[in-house]
Amino acid sequence: MALLEDKVVLVNGGSQGVGAGVVRAALREGATVAFTGRRAGAGERLAADTGAGFVRADLTDPAQVRGAVDQVVAAHGRVDSLVNAAGLTSRGSLLDTSPELFDAHIAINLRAPFFAMQAVVQHLVARSAPGTIVNIGSNCAHGGPPFLAPYSAAKAGLAGLTRNAAHAHRWDRIRINDLNIGWTETEGEDAIQREFHDAGDDWRERAAERLPMGKLGQVGEIADFVVFLLSDRSGVVTGSVIDWDQNVPGASD
């Protein structure tokens, strides 16, 4: 049987990148899938291509975060699983980050997952139903490079939130885990490399030469792991913050 047969899954930030990969993987595994995104064009194209439902939402607004959950419940009767995949990776160091940039990182990378989880967990508790949540974190939660100071702070907060919520709702049979991904090949990363690092068309190949496995993290591989964590096949695991990368935090040569 497919891993997510008869499950309703909401993917926040699902119109591109890792989120879009999760949308496709969850559909392949039998789920009914809805996803959020800010850009109507990208969302509508993915919806048309996959059959998933698109909810246009600005996740910097907690009311729209909660409203997206309400729309999915209204359309499908319930939500069983949530994936928080939206992310902002705009560069900023401790010295040059403005209050506005800091707030933007917190809004997308921490506040949006908080209120999405709040809405979904409230819904599951009201139904007395089990559920699963996966937060897409980052290995930057361990510290990160100097140019990702607000991002690292927000992702560290997300790891702590994951553990807190998992502990609080373990007796409700709601399993909540965090996947700390590393450098990943996505459309968004391509744009970031070009905007902030003067990267050329060969940046992926040049990056791969410096990585142990000879490639960047791949969306499809991450999506498969997320689907596993959403499914019953992952058993009782909850409150885990899993490092999904080819560099080992804390280790050194």
Q: How far from each other are the two terminal CA atoms of the chain, in whole angstroms?
A: 44
Please give the pLDDT value at position 178: 98
Known catalytic residue at 32: no
pLDDT, position 190: 78
pLDDT at 239: 98
Residues in contact with 158: Cβ distance below 8 Å, sequence separation at least 6, in sequence order: 84, 109, 110, 113, 135, 137, 141, 178
Mean pLDDT score, 107-121 = 98
Mean pLDDT, the chain, rounded, equals: 95
What pLDDT score does 208 carry?
Answer: 87
pLDDT at residue number 84: 98
CB neighbours (10 Å) of residue 22?
31
Phi-psi region of 120 (alpha: psi -120 to 50; beta: other; left: phi over 0): alpha
What is the percent of the chain with per-residue pLDDT over 90, rounded to a whole number? 85
Q: What is the pLDDT of residue 194?
A: 85
pLDDT at 188 over 80: no
**Each residue of 57-106: pLDDT tens digit?**
999 999 999 999 999 999 999 999 999 999 999 999 999 999 999 999 99
pLDDT value at residue 106: 98
**Whole-angstrom distance, CA of residue 24 vs CA of residue 11:** 11
Q: Quick check: 186 pLDDT over 80? A: no
pLDDT > 90? residue 174: yes
Tell me the average pLDDT across 111-119. 98
pLDDT in tens, 206-244: 888 898 999 999 999 999 999 999 999 999 999 999 999
What burial letters (b/e) apply to 146-159, b meaning 16+ CB within 10 Å? ebbbbbbbbbbbbb
pLDDT digits (tens, 9 = 90+) for 130-167: 999 999 999 999 999 999 999 999 999 999 999 999 99
Pairing mode, if any, of strands 81-84 and 53-56? unpaired
Judged by phi (left if over 0) then psi (alpha if -120 to 50, else beta), residue 198 lies in: left
Catalytic member of 35, 54, 114, 151: 151
